[in-house]
Amino acid sequence: MKDVTFLVESVKKLLRRGATTHLLNMLTKVRPQDLAEAFKTLDESERNAAFRILADGHLPTAAGLVQEIHPTLRADLLRGMEPEAVARVLHGLSDDDIAGIVAERPDEERERLLSLMQRDASKEVQDLLEYDEETAGRIMTKRYVALPEETLVQEAIGAVQKAQAAEMVFYVYVVDDHARLSGVMSLRRLLTVPPGTPLREIMSTDVISVKAETDQEEVARIASRYDLLSVPVVDADNVLVGIITIDDIVDVMREEATEDFYKLAGTSDEERGLRSTLGAARIRLPWLFAAFAGGLLAALLIKAYAPLLGRATVLACFIPVVLGMGGNIGTQAATIMVRGLATGRITVLQTGQVIFKEIRIALLLGLIYGSLLGLAAVPIVGMGIAAGVAIGMSLLASMTMAAMVGSTLPVLLKTMHVDPAVATSPFVTTAVDLLGLLAFFGLASRQLVGG
Amino acid sequence: MKDVTFLVESVKKLLRRGATTHLLNMLTKVRPQDLAEAFKTLDESERNAAFRILADGHLPTAAGLVQEIHPTLRADLLRGMEPEAVARVLHGLSDDDIAGIVAERPDEERERLLSLMQRDASKEVQDLLEYDEETAGRIMTKRYVALPEETLVQEAIGAVQKAQAAEMVFYVYVVDDHARLSGVMSLRRLLTVPPGTPLREIMSTDVISVKAETDQEEVARIASRYDLLSVPVVDADNVLVGIITIDDIVDVMREEATEDFYKLAGTSDEERGLRSTLGAARIRLPWLFAAFAGGLLAALLIKAYAPLLGRATVLACFIPVVLGMGGNIGTQAATIMVRGLATGRITVLQTGQVIFKEIRIALLLGLIYGSLLGLAAVPIVGMGIAAGVAIGMSLLASMTMAAMVGSTLPVLLKTMHVDPAVATSPFVTTAVDLLGLLAFFGLASRQLVGG
């Protein structure tokens, strides 16, 4: 990855000197992705000053930067700009990128922006905005090459030459008389067949497509599974309405994986963009509340066993290891299930199999570590072998229940149409804490003090 | 994603009936990815029987299946097959795919396989195998179109038509007299310029490339950042030695994200393929040992405070909540750092900033939940306000230390050139358990019983 430190230093220096022309000259030579990276480390006033220079001096660079920069910083840059100026900057982007950015703008500005952009582009963008967020319809582009089945190869090549869609044309789609998707072929294939052949004769009719309502995560799974460079999007009648290109699919894969990492840990990837401590804390607050409430319940539960603890204080020593090992193996089971469901490696039908495997693993590891803990507990507790057996067994019980809870919870969430990754880790560790304590005190009181 | 249940049922039925021709006929019409998915749910004898029918009857389908199926199942299928037969099956695949599969074979078979394959293909595969696993060199293909700068556009189109590399040609690379990479252009661009133009005049000279030793994760970051459909690979002298296509990059992204999920939780993605409980348990055993050893230390630490606990048994009630909340916020901090480092969103220079932000968030959330816990503790403990304050403060301390440990550990691992994701979650929760207990007993003994 390119190091942008030097770029950042140069921008700062030129801004201080007020060397606007020089700065503009330099910035237009940088790739938009590197520019976005550099803008991340500029401070707010520098960022705004440099952006104004770009917006006034070189719209394509300004547009590239706006497209590549993080949404939060994008909102900062566009804040206070006249809608006319925003429309001018966005104009150079493709319809799907414009739709993504327009959707982020405040409601009152959205209409104004669309009406300010050229008639055609605005219509295309508006079409995309009618689909829900995170669906195929929202991330597709209307700029693709689709031709009738009777088109001759030489005409198809002509159409590709004239297509304004630019860099991302790698397939030509073929449609029937009712605009329904009927075939596909690669640009290279077009070059290797006689120019007078009609597309119908050479196209591949085995086309994989998605519906406009398909979740973008499913689109990514399909593209990755079948090695597609773009995925055609069709409506209920199989009419081609757009295509999703691989660059957007790659972005979706990254974002969805990141989102799952964040969610598993009990936060949200919105946190990434919010630079304020307060904003991040607000996102985590409710998820941690589940853990907190569970902790209070645990406190009350232990209090109920206070008489037992009073007679054998040393029992308290084993609370962290019993709960900690349970938490770890529960998180492992949850992680495997969440990731497996997300990538499609675990299908709904296979979840039972995975849950049983997780329980078997936990039983085995629980036997090993339970025996070790039991052995270690005998000298620590000093109350004979029975105490060791009870403590070892409670570790086994805690780990087994943890695997059960950890692997089952994501499946339950999925059947309730909730994202299986949602705060799984806090929920699992909290549930495991409570179940582990019950097992621990249940076994300890029975075997140790006959309670 | 296609449902393969019907396919699986048909295969089972046709195998039972011994309808080999019918079965072969059906299997050759299925996409290799769907075939691989179906084979996952067949039982072992069915899988082997169906594969033998394919290997005898239709090599391209057998090759496609071998390429798409999970490595563990692939090893099962190829086990006991003569190297000659394996070489025949592999022959239809591209060099990078063959290299990946040959690398998995036992040492003694590898040489034999290479010598059995056609001279050219074998040389290409051997070249790739000389690079380390998970580097650009290992996943690149030698089948690309590279032409001298003087080539005319019409000649370039001719070269593309003749290239046997097939579907994945979307760029034409341009090299200078010393085979050094000097430019690139898209296939579409080639179609839109006059046929007599030399490539030198129309190529883009701003080519992004990687070295053969570059880590595959870095290749994925670069391709995703700059929206590349293939990444050229060069040696130390900038000589073009291969290209990596987007389909392989997408696979790398998926695999690396999955690996990080598994590692964070304290296991490995090797577990995915191992269907045995024993194998999975063996992978997790050492990571859990860290948690176990930490848990034993925690037991000894609590035992040292037994006199204090003896005087105020009720203190034990708060161990789970103090450690649990710490564990959660520590895991959040670790997750954000690990994922940020993996995607390149957090650069090494920015880690300090992120650590401080995590600590600020933990302080804020620790103040909120510490106050709540303190309030709740007063009636539970029944020893006055001082007890509540001590318990609340120990939650604040535990959460703050957890954020510190969770965000710092991945950075430390990275500077030691260890994958930051390695078992972060078990290590962090264990460290947090010990630090949390110290804080808890330290504060409790000072404020509560003047210990």
Residue B212 has pLDDT above 90, yes or no: yes
What does the mean pLDDT of chain B come to? 87
pLDDT of residue B371: 94
- Token pair listed for B91: 């022959």
- B224/A251 Cβ within 8 A: yes
**What residues of chain A, 261 to 280, have a C-beta less than 8 Å from chain B?**
261-262, 264-267, 271-272, 277-278, 280
The tens-digit pLDDT sequence of chain A (451 residues) is: 567 888 999 999 999 998 999 999 999 999 999 999 899 888 888 999 999 999 998 988 999 999 888 887 888 888 878 888 888 888 878 888 888 888 888 888 888 888 887 666 677 788 888 898 889 999 998 888 999 999 999 999 888 888 865 546 788 999 999 999 999 998 888 888 898 999 999 999 989 999 999 999 899 989 988 988 899 999 999 999 999 999 899 989 888 888 888 888 777 777 766 568 888 888 888 888 888 998 899 989 988 888 888 778 888 889 999 999 999 899 889 988 988 888 887 887 788 988 999 999 999 999 999 999 999 988 888 778 888 898 999 999 999 999 999 999 999 988 888 888 777 778 888 888 899 999 888 887 776 655 4
- B251/A250 Cβ within 8 A: no
Residue A55 to residue B448: CA distance in whole angstroms: 63
Sign of the Cα pseudo-torsion (A30, A35, A38, A39, in order):
positive
- A309/B316 Cβ within 8 A: yes
Q: How far is CA A258 from the centre of its chain?
A: 5
Residue B127 to residue B352: CA distance in whole angstroms: 42
pLDDT of residue B449: 57
Beta-ladder partners of A234: A211, A240
The answer, for A122 touching chain B at a CB cutoff of 8 Å, is: no
Closest chain A residue by Cα to residue B185: A167
Range from A295-299, B125-129, B231-235, B247-251 that averages highest in pLDDT: B231-235
Number of other CB atoms surrounding residue A203 within 10 Å:
21
- Percentage with pLDDT > 70 across chain B: 95
Among A31, A154, A251, A254, most B C-beta atoms within 10 A, so best to mutate, is: A254
- A267/B332 Cβ within 8 A: yes
pLDDT in tens, A247-291: 899 989 888 888 888 888 777 777 766 568 888 888 888 888 888
The CATH number of the domain covering residues in B270-448: 1.10.357.20
Return all residues near A193 (Cβ < 8 A) that are at least 6 apart: A153, A202
DSSP annotation of A132: P
Closest chain A residue by Cα to residue B209: A1
The answer, for B323 touching chain A at a CB cutoff of 8 Å, is: yes
Number of other CB atoms surrounding residue A161 within 10 Å:
12
Place of tokens 């799974």: A221
pLDDT of residue B451: 42
- B254/A224 Cβ within 8 A: yes
Closest chain B residue by Cα to residue A2: B222
- A254/B250 Cβ within 8 A: no
> How many angstroms separate the CA of residue A83 from the nearest CA in chain B?
29
> How many angstroms separate the CA of residue B220 from the nearest CA in chain A?
10
What residues of chain B lie within 8 A of the CB of A325, using their CB? 288, 291-292, 295
Q: Which of A229, A294, A433 sits opposite B246 (nearest CB)?
A: A229
Closest chain B residue by Cα to residue A157: B191
Residue A361 to residue A354: CA distance in whole angstroms: 10
Q: Which of B303, B345, B426 sits opposite A380 (nearest CB)?
A: B303
The answer, for A258 touching chain B at a CB cutoff of 8 Å, is: yes
pLDDT of residue B448: 61
- A278/B299 Cβ within 8 A: no
CA distances A278 to A272, B121, B325, B373, B374, Å, are 13, 59, 18, 20, 22
pLDDT of residue A375: 92
> How many angstroms separate the CA of residue B273 from the nearest CA in chain A?
11
Residue B58 has pLDDT above 70, yes or no: yes
- A361/B277 Cβ within 8 A: yes
Among A381, A380, A374, A375, which residue's Cα sits nearest to residue A312? A381
- Token pair listed for A408: 């089952």
> How many angstroms separate the CA of residue A119 from the nearest CA in chain B?
27
- A192/B361 Cβ within 8 A: no
Characterize A362-392 residue by residue with b for buried, 16 or more Cβ atoms within 10 angstroms of its Cβ, and e for exposed. bbbbbbbbbbbbbebbbebbebeeebbbbbb
pLDDT in tens, B395-439: 999 999 999 999 999 999 888 888 887 777 788 888 888 999 998
> How many angstroms separate the CA of residue B356 from the nearest CA in chain A?
10
Q: How many CA atoms lie within 13 A of A390 on its CB side?
A: 24
Return all residues near B280 (Cβ < 8 A) that are at least 6 apart: A357, A361, B267, B271, B274
- Give residue B1's pLDDT band: very low, low, confident or very high (50, 70, 90): low
Among B72, B302, B375, most A C-beta atoms within 10 A, so best to mutate, is: B302
> How many angstroms separate the CA of residue A383 from the nearest CA in chain B?
14
Identify residue B167 by its one-letter amino acid code: E
- A169/B328 Cβ within 8 A: no
- A321/B298 Cβ within 8 A: yes
The answer, for B297 touching chain A at a CB cutoff of 8 Å, is: no
- A170/B295 Cβ within 8 A: no
Among A332, A350, A371, A394, most B C-beta atoms within 10 A, so best to mutate, is: A332
The answer, for B116 touching chain A at a CB cutoff of 8 Å, is: no
- Token pair listed for A142: 């209307």
Identify residue A327 by its one-letter amino acid code: G
**What residues of chain A, 162 to 201, have a C-beta less than 8 Å from chain B?**
166-167, 169-170, 186-188, 191-192
Q: Are A362 and A333 within 8 A, CB to CB?
A: yes
Return all residues near B219 (Cβ < 8 A) that are at least 6 apart: B136, B139, B210, B231, B244, B249, B252
Residue A189 to residue A333: CA distance in whole angstroms: 47
**More confidently predicted of A211 and B304:** A211
Interface contacts (A, B; CB < 8 Å): 305
Closest chain A residue by Cα to residue B161: A192
**What residues of chain A, 43 to 82, have a C-beta less than 8 Å from chain B?**
none
> How many angstroms separate the CA of residue A139 from the nearest CA in chain B?
15
Closest chain A residue by Cα to residue B399: A288
> How many angstroms separate the CA of residue B303 from the nearest CA in chain A?
6
> How many angstroms separate the CA of residue B9 from the nearest CA in chain A?
14
What residues of chain B lie within 8 A of the CB of A354, using their CB? none
The answer, for A331 touching chain B at a CB cutoff of 8 Å, is: yes
What does the pLDDT average to over B159-175? 78
- A31/B5 Cβ within 8 A: no
Q: Where are the domains of chain B?
A: 5-134, 146-245, 270-448
**ipTM of the prediction:** 0.81
pLDDT of residue B236: 93
- B292/A298 Cβ within 8 A: no
Q: Are B222 and B228 within 8 A, CB to CB?
A: yes
What residues of chain B lie within 8 A of the CB of A266, using their CB? 328, 331-332
**What residues of chain A, 209 to 238, have a C-beta less than 8 Å from chain B?**
218, 221-227, 229
Q: Which of B160, B288, B322 sits opposite A325 (nearest CB)?
A: B288
Tell which CATH architecture fits domain A5-134.
Alpha Horseshoe (1.25)
- B262/A336 Cβ within 8 A: yes
Number of other CB atoms surrounding residue A206 within 10 Å:
9
End-to-end C-alpha distance for chain B, whole angstroms? 64
Q: Are B145 and B159 within 8 A, CB to CB?
A: yes
pLDDT of residue B165: 59
Return all residues near A337 (Cβ < 8 A) that are at least 6 apart: A346, A351, A354, A355, A358, A406, A407, A410, A411, A420
pLDDT in tens, B359-404: 999 999 999 999 999 999 888 887 788 888 989 999 999 999 999 9
> How many angstroms separate the CA of residue A335 from the nearest CA in chain B?
7
Q: Give the CATH fold of the A146-245 domain.
A: CBS-domain (3.10.580)
Q: Which of A251, A291, A302 sits opposite B324 (nearest CB)?
A: A291
